[in-house]
Amino acid sequence: MGRAPVLLAAAVLVSAGCSASSIVGPFDDLPLDGEIVLPADAGLLRPVHVARDRYGVAHINAETLTDAAFVQGYVMAHDRLPQMDILRRFGAGTLSELFGTLDPKVIDTDLEMRVHRMKPLAQQTWQTLQASADPRDREVVILLQRFADGVNAYATSIFSEDHPTGVWKLDKDILASFDPTRFVPWSPVDSLVLGRFQAFALSWSAPFEIDISELYQQLRQTFDLAPGTAAPAILARQGISKDLLRIAPVGRISTIDGFPNVGRDSGSRSNGSVTPATTSKAVAPAPRPVVRSCRRSCSRRRARSSSAASTQVHSARSGRTRSCTRSPARTTGRSGPRAPARTWRCSRPISTSSSRTRRSSIPRT
């Protein structure tokens, strides 16, 4: 075996005019740089450099994509392994394995989350990716697996009584709710579960909407619809339901100057670059003609007249037009001369933007 791969880690302070000696805080004693040697079975091909800026964001510099994915899993687990463990269990509906005895309500939460089938769907996705011959899917498989390897590499290097040779020591407050010895190895399916759970958490608003709707109805019934004989305190609060559902933007000042160009088109883009503004006159699209169709068919009109020639009927479904006119059988009758010949036009284009076919009275000529 060759030399064990090396993971280089460094924390870099980029604050202008600020030196390390002038920083005062609870983390002053932490080393700003160091070198971590990983075992050969970690699978790193080349040394990887990790730099943290003044905000603590890790910047990974690797020569291969697989090494970058491995180190990303390692660094992410270093920063938030307990959170990752809880969130994957939350999405999979297995959180009660850790906290079910402390709070039985966690079991109900697991049952609710299992209805969404996040883990079974993630397992199905992982199997589909593994079976795919698409080069992009194959690359995703490798990246997910290497990320999981990095997470597990950090988890196995945590110091504990059962693992006294561990490199990393966790804070006692974290150890109060997280036992590294009970950590189940991370898998690519867990990463896919987290992706589904994040999308779910950002879009799931049904409980809040139900609660706010019930509150709105109670306020409306109690105050807005109160009779005139109600207490003055109740009458003074009429209209409170509108305050509850007031719709307004959170903020009107954008963090990027000129974005999103609603009031004016300055030509600025999200990356801060500016292009020459161009002016063009917006031309509204031509209104879509809608055909007014008559529900009475030619046969009904023929039945009314003793002699029918043609009447024009348009079928909105087939797009074809039939003609059916009508002429009088005789020009005289019991009560005098008959009316002149009449022709019906059952279809006529009109200028409107609606795509719905509407009925109209039959124009007579």
pLDDT score of 253: 72
| Average pLDDT along the chain | 74
What band does 8 get if pLDDT is binned at 50, 70 and 90? Answer: low
Query: Per-residue DSSP letters for 204-253?
Result: --HHHHHHHHHHHHHHIIIIIT--TTS-HHHHTTTTHHHHHT----S-S-
Is this structure's pTM higher than 0.85? no
DSSP at 165: T
Residue 211 — left, alpha, or beta (φ > 0 → left; ψ -120 to 50 → alpha)?
Answer: alpha
Per-domain residue ranges for the chain? Answer: 6-203, 206-244, 288-326+342-365
pLDDT tens readout for residues 248-269: 777 777 666 666 655 555 555 4
Is residue 6 classed as helix, strand or coil in its secondary structure? strand
Question: If you average pLDDT over residues 297-326, what whole number do you get?
Answer: 48
Cβ atoms of 43 and 149 closer than 8 Å? yes
> Per-residue pLDDT tens for 48-72?
999 988 888 889 999 999 999 999 9
pLDDT interval class at 307 (50, 70, 90): very low
Q: Residue 101's Cα: distance from chain center in Å? A: 34
The arithmetic mean of pLDDT across residues 92-100, rounded, is 91
- pLDDT band at residue 130, thresholds of 50, 70 and 90? very high
- Using alpha carbons, select from 103, 43, 107 the residue that is nearest to residue 71: 43
Q: What's the sign of the alpha-carbon dihedral 226, 227, 231, 233?
A: positive
pLDDT band at residue 15 under the 50/70/90 scheme = very low
Residue 245 predicted with pLDDT over 90: no
The mean pLDDT of 7-32, rounded to a whole number, is 52
Per cent of the chain over pLDDT 70 is 60
How many Å apart are CA 344 and CA 295, to the nearest integer? Answer: 12
Q: What CATH number is given for 6-203 in this structure?
A: 1.10.439.10
